[in-house]
Amino acid sequence: MKKGFLLLEDGTVYQGRALGSHTVKGGEIVFHTGMTGYQEVLTDPSYCGQIVMMTYPHIGSYGVCPEDVESRKPFLKGFVMGDYTEHYSNFRATRSLVSYLEEYGIPAIDQIDTREITRKIREQGAMRALISTDEENVHELQKKLADTPVMTGRNLVDEVTCQAAYTWSQDILGADVATDDRPHVVVIDCGVKYNILRNLVGQGFQVTVVPASTSSHEIMALQPDGILVSNGPGDPEVVGTTIGTLKEIIGKLPVMGICLGHQLLSLALGAKTYKLKFGHHGANHPVKNLLTGKIEITSMNHGFAVDASSLQDIDTKFGAVELTHMHLSDETLEGFRIKDVNLLAIQYHPEASPGPHDSHYLFQEFAACIESCIKTS
Amino acid sequence: MPKRNDIKSILLIGSGPIVIGQACEFDYSGTQALKALREEGYRTILVNSNPATIMTDPEYADATYIEPITADAIEKIIKRENPDALLPTMGGQTGLNVAKELHESGVLEKYNVELIGARIDSINKAEDREAFKAAMQKIGVPVAKSKIVHTFDEAVQVLQDIPLPVIIRPSFTLGGAGASFAYNQKEFEEMVRIGLEASPVTEVLIEESILHWKEFELEMMRDKNDNVVVICTIENFDPVGVHTGDSITVAPSQTLSDKEFQVLRDYAVAIMREIGVDSGGSNIQYAINPKDGRVIVIEMNPRVSRSSALASKATGYPIAKLAAKLAVGYTLDELPNDITKVTKASFEPTIDYVVTKIPRFDFKKFKKSKTTLGPQMRAVGEVMAMGRNFPESIQKAIYSLEENMDGFSSDMQKLDEKELLDKVQKPTHLRLLYLHAALIRGIDVDVLYRKTGIDPWFLHQLQRITNLEKKYQQIGLDSVTLEQLLELKKTGFTDKKLSHMFGVTTEVIKNKRDTLGIKPSYKMVDTCAAEFESYTNYLYSCYAGESESKPTDKKKVVILGSGPNRIGQGVEFDYCCVHASLSLRKLGFESILINCNPETVSTDYDISDRLYFEPLTEEHVEEILEREKPDGVIVQFGGQTPLKLSKFIESKGYPILGTSTESIYKAEDRDLFREILSNLDIDQPESAIAYSLDEVDEIVEKLPFPLMVRPSFVLGGRAMEVVENKDELSRYIEKAVRVSPEHPILIDRFLENSIEIDVDAISDGENTFVAGIMQHIEQAGVHSGDSSCVLPPVSIPEHIIEEIKEKTARIAKTLNVKGFLNIQYALQGDHLFIIEVNPRASRTVPFVSKSKQMPLMLEAVKVVLGEKLDVKRLENQRTPDYYSVKAPVFPFLKFDNEDTILGPEMKSTGEVMGISKQWEVAYGKAQIAAGNHLPLKGNVFLSVKNDDKERAADIAKKIQMAGFTVYCTHGTAEFLQSKGVHVERVNKVREGRPHIVDKMINNEIDLVMNTTKGKGSIKDSYSIRRTALEKSIPYFTTLEGASAATHAIQQLQERGLEVHKLQDL
C-alpha cells in the first residue's frame, strides 16, 4: 500500500492510501454528500480547482460508465474517498474509477476519516487542502499547500470553457437527433455540464455552445432564440467578460442562468455575491419554489451565492426581480426571474446528473419563454 | 399549512401479536405515531391485542383497548369512542385489512369516521395484483411480464412473448400452492397441464422468471402538496427468489450508478402519485436484470412496514412519526428534522456508513420444515449493524445475531469444491458459512456469482475479509504492525476472531490494541453525513478517526438490550428495557442503551440518553463501558443475552446493579439450586441424572412414570420429552440421545394432572412483592411461553396462594434478589412443587403490568438502584377487578409438515391478551385475538382421551345447548351416548373415508376439541391438527380450554363481544 497524504489549511495531516496519479495537487476542499453519482461529480467542470471529498465511504463500486461523463474531462485537483473499491459491478461499466483518474492525472486518497474532515469543514468553513500521492515529506507539502491559491477572486472559467463554438445534438437518452430546423439556444460555456445540453435538445432546441469569452455581438450573429449561461467554477465576481456580455444581452432575448450563470446574471443586473461558509454540494438539497409552495429535492454545487436583498434592491430597467426559489434549510437564494424580459436564473442544477429529476420543469419553463417570444415576434 | 382542526380524535390500529412477517417494528411505528398525534393535541384511541407492546401502556393513548383486532370489536370501540378519524397505516397488513373490512361493511360511513393516511382506493390499487399492474402500465412503469391462460394451447402461445424460464401459478389453489418453475419446453408443458388441473377454475398465470435479478427497495414519503422524498434505498444481498424479510439487505444501494438510481426514484415518485398515497410513507420493491439493467417494479406497500422501520433506524429519519403528522395535514416542509433541528423533514437523508440487516431464523425449532429460503418469510427476527465499510458492517451484524459465528467465518473448509458449490447455490440461513468456506478455498468470485446470483460487488467485499484472514495465516502477532492491526479492526475483525487467527487469548489482542492506541471511535447517525450539526446521541462504533460520543459526568447506567427477536426471547424483553431506560431517566439517571435490533422501541433514539447501536458481545460492550464509565450495568431486563455477559462485565470491574451475577447463576445451576431448595425445605419434582443405561434402569425403579427426560447439554427445552413407559424411554434414549458419561440425561418426575403456575415478583432482598400469579390453562409439560394463562388464578385455593407468596419471598431472600424474580410452580392436588426459578425479568412482566395496571418496571428499577421496596403500598394499590388471559400465537402455518402439538419446547412467536369479568370470556377473547375465531354456530368435533371423558360430557351438553351439532369418533361417541348425550358419529382417519379430516376440508366442522394421550394417539391426530391449522378452524387440546371456550361462546351468543378501555378498569 502506497501512502497518500491529505493536508488541510488548519494544519492537520491525514495519512491514507495513495490512489490514482502520482502527484501533488492543491485546491479548495469541499465535500459532496451524494451517495451515488461520483462520476458525474468528477466530470462537473464547476469543481475545477477543488479537491472533492465524497462523504459516502464506498466509492468506485459501480465503476466508470462511458455515458455518465458530464464534460470532456475531470477538472478537479484531487479526489478523497473513505473506502475505494477496485472491484466494481455494473452492467454498463467499462473500467475502474482509479484507472480513469490515472488517465487524467488526478491524485486520489482513501482510508481516511472523511466524516471527521466533513465536520471540520462544516465548523471552520471551506479551506485549502493538498493531496500528495507522491511526495511524503510533510514539511515540503505544507509549503506547497501555502502556495495554493484561495478560491475567492479566482477566475477559473477560462480553464474549463470550450476553445471554439460547437453544436450539440444528443438528447437525454444519449441519442443523436436532427436539430436543424429547431429554435436555437446558444449556451455560454462557463464549464457547462453535458446534461444541460441534453435537456435543451430534449426540449426541442438546436444547441450551439460558445466559449465564455464570446462577445454579445458574436452571439447575436448566431441568431439565437434564447441564451443559456452555464454553470462553472470559481468566484463569479471576476468573470468580467461574461458579465459584460450578459449586460448587453439581458432584455433582448430569453435568458436562463444556471449556477455560476445565475450568479453572473445577478452581477450583470448589479447585485452582489458572497462566499458561503462551506457551500452546498450534494443531491439531497430541498428547495422551496416560492411561486408554487412546492419542495424540490435538488442537486447542488455552489460555494458562492447571490445576496438576495442586494438583488431585490435593484431597480432594473427590465421590471421587477421576483425571487422564485429558496433553500429550505438555510434560506439561501436559489433562483429568481424577471418575467417581463424572460429571464430565469437558478442557483442549483435542474439538469441533475447526479441527483433527482424534480427540477427538469425549469427547462420546460425556459422553452415556454422562448416559444412565446417566437410567437409574439 | 397547519394541521387539521376539523378532526379531534383519532383511532389507531396496532398490528396485534408478534408473528413472522409482522413483529415489533409496528410497536415502534405505532408508538411513534401515538406520541406524534398527542403532541399535536389530538385525542388518541388505540386498539391492539398485544400486551407486550409499549403502545398499549395506558399512558400512550387517551383510550387504550387491548382487544381483538377484528371488525366486530373495532366497531364497538368506534361506537363508544366516536373517533373522527382512523389511521390504518401503522398496524401492518392487519391494520390495513381490518380498515378495509370496516369500510366495506359500511361501519366507517355509519359512524362518520374518516380514513386518514391512506385512502381505500389507494389501498386497493396497491394490493390488488391486477389493479396494480394496470396502474403501472398506465404510467409506463414496467412490471414482470405475465399472462393468464385457460387452455393448454393458449399457454404454448404465451411462450412467444415470455421466454423460458417461467413461473407457472395455478389460480385459486389453497395457500398459493403449486407455483413452479419451468426451465424447458417439456417441463413447461407438464406443469401447465398439472396447473390447469389443480386450479378449480382451470386457470394458470404464466409469469416471466426474475430469479437472480438484483432486488432493491425504496422507502418513500409523500405529503398532500405532492412533495415526495426518498428516505432510504435498500439493496438486497440475496437476489430475487428470497423474501426480503429473509434476505440480508444493505443500505444505501451499492451497485446502482446515479443514472440507474434516478430511474428508480422517478418510477417511485410516479407510483406514489398514481396509487394516490398522499399523506404518508410507502415502500416500493424493484428487480433489476443484472445483465442489461432492465427494471421492473415488484410491489408497493402503502403503509409503514418492516422496511420503513429499518430505514428509520438506518438513517435516523423517523418515518412513522412523520407519516402520522402528514396524515393530519402537515406538509414535509413544515416539519422539522428532529436530528438537526435547524433543517426540515422535506429532504432526502444521506448517510456516510454502510448498514447491514441480517434476518434471524429458528429452524431448529421446526425440524420437519425445509430450510431453503423462498417467497414465504420465515425469519423470526433481525439484526442491524453499521460500519464504515461493508466488511465491517456485515461482520458486526453477524456478531449481533448471537448464532455463535465468529464474524464472517465457518468451519466448513472440509467440504470439497463441489459440495460447497452445491451448498451455496441453495439460499439458506447458513449460506454465509458456505460462502466463507468457498472463498477461503479460493473459489472464484465469478463462479460464486453464477451459482448464487449474489452481486459480485458483495462477494468481492466478503473476499476482502477472507484475503486478510489468509494473509495473516503465516504471520505471528508480534510482527503485526499498527497499520496492519488497524486495517484488521477496520474490516470488522473482533479481538476474538483475531485471537483465533493468531492463536493467542483475546486479552493479548486487546492489550496490544490498547498499547498501540487502537480504540473504536463512535460516530453519530445524523441523517445528513455530518453536513449539519446534530443533537441526537445515536451512535455506532468504527475504527476511524475522532469519536463523537460525549460521555458526561452525570450519574449514569448502561442497559443491555435483548438483541434479535427469536422464539423464547421476544418483544417482552424489549418492553422491559424500554421501561428500564425511561424509569432511569425519571429517577434522575442518564440511561445508556446498547442493542442491535432495528425493529424495537428500545433502539428509538428518543428512549435513552445515548443509544449505542452495537452487537451485544463482550468486546463491543466493554469498549462502550470503557468510554462511558457508567455507575453500573443492568442485565436483568433483556433476557438471556445480557445475562450471558454479566460475569464478564463484573470481571472488568463494572458493577452489575440489582441481583448479583452469583445469585443468577446459583438459580441456574441444577445442583446448587437443589441444595438451596432442600435447605429451605421447598419441594421440587424428584429428579435424577443418568450417566449410563444401567443408571437409567436404576432410576426408573425409583421414579414413577410419566417422566420428563432431556439431555443435560441442551438448553431451552430442546429435545425434551415426556415418556409414559419404559418402551418410550428406551426409544427416546436410542433415537434422540445417546447416554454416556460425557452426555448424561436428566430425568425428572413428570407431575401428571398438575396445574402450572407462573409467578412474577419484585424483591429488594428483604421484602418481596408478589406482583402476579398466573394459572396455566394448558396441561403441565407445555412450555410456559406456549401456555395460555389467566391472572388472577381461577382454581387455586387461598391457602395455596398464601403458600406461593411465602415461598416466593423466602426464595427471593435466600437468593438476595434485587429486582425481578420469576418462579414456575406446579400444583398437584394440594402439593406445591417448584419447577424453575429465574431471578430476572420474565416474559410475563408486560402482561402482569397491563393486567394489574401497575408500573412494575419502575418499581423494579428503583430496587435495582438500591431503594427499599414498599410492599405495603404496592399491595394496597387498587388493581382491576377483571380477569386477564394471555394466549400464545404460533407460526406453524409458515412451516410445512410441522405438527402443532405443544410440548416442552417453545414455539410461539407472540402473545395476545383478553380481558373480561368472567375468565372464560377473557379466554375466548384471547383466542379470537390469536386468530382462533370462535364460531357462534355450526358443528363441533369432540374427541377426548379416556381420563377426560367424564368431564367431556358436560362440555358436549353445553355446546349442544348453544346450538352446535357434536361429532365424535367411536370411543367418545359411545361414552357420551351412555351419558345420554346424542352425538353424530364420524370416522377417525384410519377408520376409512369419509373421515373427520374430509369433513374438515369440506368446511363441515367449525370447532375442534381434541385431547390426546400417548404417542400413538398424538400421531393419529396429526392430520386433524394440520388441517385445522390450514383451514383456520379453532382447535382446543385441553379440556380446560375447551370448557372455557364453550362458556365463552355462550356468553358471546348472549351479549356479544364486550370491549373494555384500560383506563376504565
**CB environment A289-312: b (16+ within 10 A), e (fewer):** beeeebbbbbbbbbbbbbebebbe
**Nearest chain B alpha carbon to A284:** B348
Cβ-proximal residues to A283 (8 Å cutoff; 6+ apart), any chain? A33, A34, A36, A37, A297, A298, A299, A300, A352, A354, A355, A356, B258, B348, B350
Tell me how close the Cα of A181 comes to any Cα of chain B, in angstroms.
Answer: 30
Q: Do B545 and A87 touch (CB under 8 A)?
A: no
> Which of A36, A89, A286 lies at the smallest CB-CB distance from B347?
A286
- For an interface test with B, which of A62, A100, A360 has the most B Cβ atoms less than 10 Å from its Cβ? A62
| Neighbouring C-beta atoms of residue B686, cutoff 10 Å | 14
Tell me how close the Cα of B262 comes to any Cα of chain A, in angstroms.
Answer: 6
Question: What does the alpha-carbon distance between residue B212 and residue B287 come to, in Å, rounded to a whole number?
Answer: 9
> Which of B291, B532, B548 lies at the smallest CB-CB distance from A91?
B291
Question: What does the alpha-carbon distance between residue B39 and residue B31 come to, in Å, rounded to a whole number?
Answer: 12
**Nearest chain B alpha carbon to A122:** B531
Residue B636 burial by Cβ neighbours in a 10 Å radius (0-12, 13-18, 19+): buried
Only one residue has cell 508480534, namely B478
Q: Do B460 and A87 touch (CB under 8 A)?
A: yes
> Which of B255, B333, B460 lies at the smallest CB-CB distance from A328?
B333
Q: Are B439 and B469 spatial neighbours (Cβ–Cβ below 8 Å)?
A: no
> Which of B262, B350, B533 lies at the smallest CB-CB distance from A33?
B350
Active-site residues of A, by number, are 259, 349, 351
> Which of A55, A83, A116 lies at the smallest CB-CB distance from B350?
A55
Q: Do B257 and A295 touch (CB under 8 A)?
A: no
Tell me how close the Cα of B548 comes to any Cα of chain A, in angstroms.
Answer: 9
Q: Which residues of A touch B347 (CB under 8 A)?
A: 284-286, 297, 328-329
Reduce the DSSP state of residue A139 to 3 states and report it.
helix
Question: What does the alpha-carbon distance between residue B582 and residue B576 come to, in Å, rounded to a whole number?
Answer: 10
What's the length of chain A? 377
Question: What does the alpha-carbon distance between residue A273 and residue B454 come to, in Å, rounded to a whole number?
Answer: 50
**Nearest chain A alpha carbon to B523:** A115
Cβ-proximal residues to A121 (8 Å cutoff; 6+ apart), any chain? A29, A30, A31, A127, A278
Q: Are A14 and A113 spatial neighbours (Cβ–Cβ below 8 Å)?
A: yes
Q: Do B460 and A122 touch (CB under 8 A)?
A: no
B729 pLDDT higher than 50: yes
Q: Which residues of B touch A31 (CB under 8 A)?
A: 529, 531
> Which of A58, A111, A113 lies at the smallest CB-CB distance from B254?
A58
Q: Fill in the DSSP letter of residue B558.
A: E
C-alpha cell at B665: 447463576
> Tens digit of pLDDT for each residue in B381-431?
999 999 999 999 999 999 999 998 999 999 887 899 999 999 999 999 999
- DSSP-H helix ranges across B780-855: 798-814, 845-852
Tell me how close the Cα of A219 comes to any Cα of chain B, in angstroms.
Answer: 33
Q: In what order do the strands lie in the sheet with B707-711?
A: B687-690, B745-749, B707-711, B721-723
Q: Do B261 and A55 touch (CB under 8 A)?
A: no
B714 pLDDT higher than 70: no
> Which of A37, A87, A330 lies at the smallest CB-CB distance from B258?
A37
Task: Provide, rounded to the nearest whole percent, the portion of chain B with pLDDT above 70.
Answer: 98
Q: Do A116 and B226 touch (CB under 8 A)?
A: no
Q: Do A284 and B348 touch (CB under 8 A)?
A: yes
Q: Are A226 and A255 spatial neighbours (Cβ–Cβ below 8 Å)?
A: yes
**Nearest chain B alpha carbon to A81:** B352
> Which is it for the CA torsion B983, B984, B989, B990, positive or negative?
positive
Detail the DSSP E strand segments found in B380-506.
381-387
- DSSP-H helix ranges across B1009-1065: 1014-1020, 1022-1030, 1039-1055
Q: For residue A348, give the H/E element and its range.
A: none
Please name the amino acid found at residue A316: T
B750 pLDDT higher than 60: yes
Distances (CA, A) of B150 to A148, A246, B161, B171, B277: 75, 69, 17, 10, 35
Q: What is the pLDDT along chain A (377 residues), one digit of tens a residue?
A: 899 999 999 999 999 999 999 999 999 999 999 999 999 999 999 999 999 999 999 999 999 999 999 999 999 999 999 999 999 999 999 999 999 999 999 999 999 999 999 999 999 999 999 999 998 899 999 999 999 999 899 999 999 999 999 999 999 888 999 999 999 999 999 999 999 999 999 999 999 999 999 999 999 999 999 999 999 999 999 999 999 999 999 999 999 999 999 999 999 999 999 999 999 999 999 999 999 999 999 999 999 999 999 998 888 888 889 999 999 999 999 999 999 999 999 999 999 999 999 999 999 999 999 999 999 98
Question: What does the alpha-carbon distance between residue B628 and residue B305 come to, in Å, rounded to a whole number?
Answer: 34
Determine phi and psi for A127, rounding to 5 degrees. Answer: -145, 165
Detail the DSSP E strand segments found in chain A.
3-8, 13-20, 24-32, 50-54, 58-59, 78-80, 83-84, 107-110, 127-132, 166-168, 184-189, 206-211, 226-229, 255-258, 273-289, 295-306, 322-327, 333-338, 343-346
In angstroms, how far is CA B972 from the centroid of its own chain?
39
Question: What does the alpha-carbon distance between residue A21 and residue B510 come to, in Å, rounded to a whole number?
Answer: 38
Across chain B, mean pLDDT equals 93
Q: Are B278 and B116 spatial neighbours (Cβ–Cβ below 8 Å)?
A: no
Q: For residue B319, give the H/E element and its range.
A: helix B319-327
Tell me how close the Cα of A58 comes to any Cα of chain B, in angstroms.
Answer: 7
What's the length of chain B? 1065
Q: Do A36 and B256 touch (CB under 8 A)?
A: yes
Domain range annotation of chain A: 3-146, 157-376
Question: Residue B176 — very low, low, confident or very high, per pLDDT cuts 50/70/90?
Answer: very low
Tell me how close the Cα of A84 comes to any Cα of chain B, in angstroms.
Answer: 10
> Which is it for the CA torsion B409, B415, B421, B425, positive or negative?
negative
> Which of B256, B353, B546 lies at the smallest CB-CB distance from A57?
B353
CATH domain A3-146 topology:
Glucose Oxidase; domain 1 (3.50.30)
- Common-topology check for domains A3-146 and A157-376: no
Q: Which residues of A touch B541 (CB under 8 A)?
A: none
Q: Do B258 and A354 touch (CB under 8 A)?
A: yes
What is the model's pLDDT at position B741?
72
Decide the pairing of beta strands B789-791 and B883-889. Answer: antiparallel
The mean pLDDT of B484-503, rounded to a whole number, is 96
Q: Do A62 and B257 touch (CB under 8 A)?
A: yes
Reduce the DSSP state of residue B77 to 3 states and report it.
helix
B1030 pLDDT higher than 50: yes
Q: Do B344 and A36 touch (CB under 8 A)?
A: no
Please name the amino acid found at residue A168: W
Least confident of A173-177, B592-596, B717-721: B717-721
Please name the amino acid found at residue B466: T
The CA-based angle A210-A216-A218, given to 5 degrees, is 60
The size of the A-B interface in CB pairs under 8 A is 168
Q: Do B389 and A31 touch (CB under 8 A)?
A: no
Q: Do A57 and B226 touch (CB under 8 A)?
A: no
Tell me how close the Cα of A277 comes to any Cα of chain B, in angstroms.
Answer: 12
B535 pLDDT higher than 90: no
> Which of B260, B262, B490 lies at the smallest CB-CB distance from A357?
B262
B175 pLDDT higher than 60: no
**Nearest chain B alpha carbon to A119:** B530
**CB environment B866-876: b (16+ within 10 A), e (fewer):** eeebebeebee
Cβ-proximal residues to B236 (8 Å cutoff; 6+ apart), any chain? B214, B215, B216, B217, B242, B244, B247, B248, B249, B250
**Nearest chain A alpha carbon to B462:** A87
Residue B567 burial by Cβ neighbours in a 10 Å radius (0-12, 13-18, 19+): buried
Q: Do A57 and B354 touch (CB under 8 A)?
A: yes
Please name the amino acid found at residue B459: L
Prediction ipTM score = 0.97
Q: Which residues of B touch A55 (CB under 8 A)?
A: 350, 352, 529-531
SS (H, E, C) B768-799: EEEEEEEEECCCCCCCHHHCCEEECCCCCCHH
Q: Which residues of B touch A355 (CB under 8 A)?
A: 258, 262
Q: Which residues of B touch A359 (CB under 8 A)?
A: none
Q: Which residues of B touch A118 (CB under 8 A)?
A: 352, 529-531
Q: Which range, A164-168, B21-25, B121-125, has the best average confidence (pLDDT)?
A: A164-168
- For an interface test with A, which of B218, B341, B352, B466 has the most A Cβ atoms less than 10 Å from its Cβ? B352
Residue B414 burial by Cβ neighbours in a 10 Å radius (0-12, 13-18, 19+): exposed
Which has the higher per-residue pLDDT, B1013 or B434?
B434
Determine phi and psi for A12, rounding to 5 degrees. Answer: -75, 145
| Neighbouring C-beta atoms of residue B147, cutoff 10 Å | 17
Q: Is the peptide bond before B706 cis (omega within 30 degrees of 0)?
A: yes
Please name the amino acid found at residue B747: I
Q: Which residues of A touch B460 (CB under 8 A)?
A: 85, 87, 89
Q: Are B408 and B432 spatial neighbours (Cβ–Cβ below 8 Å)?
A: yes
**Nearest chain A alpha carbon to B264:** A356
Q: Which residues of A touch B348 (CB under 8 A)?
A: 283-284, 297, 356
Strand partners, B702: none
Distances (CA, A) of B298 to B3, B129, B205, B286: 34, 10, 16, 5
Please name the amino acid found at residue B1065: L
- B359 closest CA partner among B244, B503, B520: B244
Please name the amino acid found at residue B598: P
Tell me how close the Cα of B389 comes to any Cα of chain A, in angstroms.
Answer: 7
Q: Do A329 and B347 touch (CB under 8 A)?
A: yes
**Nearest chain B alpha carbon to A35:** B350
CATH domain A157-376 topology:
Rossmann fold (3.40.50)
Q: Do B261 and A36 touch (CB under 8 A)?
A: yes
What is the model's pLDDT at position B474?
85
B476 pLDDT higher than 70: yes
